[in-house]
Amino acid sequence: MSSEEVQLSSFELARYTGHILSKNYNESRAVLSEDQNISVHFMWSEDYRMFYEMIKDQIKDTRLPLMPIELDQSLFNKELYQFKDQHFWHGSLLKLDSILKVLKTATPDSYVIFTDIDCIFKPTLYNAVLPYVEAGNDMCFLIESNHVNIGFMLFRVCSDVIDFWEMIRAKMIEDPTLDQKYVQELLPNYLGKWCFFDDQLLSCSNMWKAQKPYAMIQLLCSCLGKEFNMAEKIFYAAQHINMEPYMKYVKPEIFPFIYKFQDVLLESQKRQRAAANT
């Protein structure tokens, strides 16, 4: 059996497991005194203040204490968007170093969430994650089409998980690329317990089909460029929440790209309709 076939079968099993576990999700489950805290860790910098203010407003559950990792904007400017025609995270160790710092300093056997900041969170987040905690998973990830997405992750703090991410970092040092590529490559070999989240409950924006209410949705972009990426995320965020209170945090140079992105989207829809009619 080829490595590709092994990967497909392990990913399909992880996807099926995540779907089954989501059946234990109780949206209206009451808060219990014995509920454990699951700390929520995320990186942010001044250019992303809008999302920082959003996450503070959206995650109010005291069982999900926010643990922001503020990085100087110069670090993001130095590491992101450095390789033409590559994903803007290509070659960066920022996320890996932050993940490892969290895992090495958190309480052993506790659960933590590590998330990108550009997400929409609902009050049901704790209850949505809980079945994956109760199942004893070491790691849980978003699924995007047929590959892993590391924009929102659940970890059990243990040596096996730390070793896995140390291995990802070593690979990045040896041959810099997109960190997610190595997660995709090495995850099927992880011997601990892991799975994907239900893609309609904890979802990527290009996966959610409104089959059920989501508890978290990660806003993806088309990687058209730095300003376009922010504009696109703002546009799609506005499809889910009222963005008016947060627009004051958007840099003035981004606003023209919001309108330009709408033009790009309109042209794309026109081409799709034309192709469908031929």
CATH topology of domain 3-220: Spore Coat Polysaccharide Biosynthesis Protein SpsA; Chain A (3.90.550)
**CA-CA distance, 45 to 71, in Å (whole number)?**
5
Helix or strand holding residue 154 (H, E): strand 147-156
Query: Could you read off the pLDDT of 106-161 as tens digits, one per residue?
Result: 999 999 999 999 999 999 999 999 999 999 999 999 999 889 999 999 999 999 99
- Beta strands 66-70 and 39-44, pairing class: parallel
Count the neighbouring beta carbons within 10 Å of the beta carbon of residue 256: 11
This prediction has a pTM of: 0.91
Average pLDDT over residues 9-17: 93
With cut-offs at 50, 70 and 90, classify the pLDDT of residue 80. Answer: low
With cut-offs at 50, 70 and 90, classify the pLDDT of residue 78. Answer: confident
Average pLDDT over residues 83-100: 80
Query: Could you read off the pLDDT of 197-244 as tens digits, one per residue?
Result: 999 999 999 999 999 999 999 999 887 777 888 999 999 999 999 999
Q: What pLDDT is recorded for position 4? A: 52
Phi, psi of 16 (to 5 degrees): -60, -45
Q: Please check the confidence at residue 3 and state whether its pLDDT lies above 60.
A: no
Q: What pLDDT is recorded for position 278? A: 74
> Which of 46-50, 163-167, 176-180 reaches the highest mean pLDDT?
163-167
Domain positions in the chain are: 3-220, 223-278
Q: Please check the confidence at residue 57 and state whether its pLDDT lies above 70.
A: yes
Residue closest to 196 by CA, chosen among 12, 6, 14 = 14
Q: Please check the confidence at residue 77 and state whether its pLDDT lies above 90.
A: no
CB contact set of 119 (below 8 Å; sequence gap of 6+): 51, 55, 151, 152, 216, 217, 218, 219
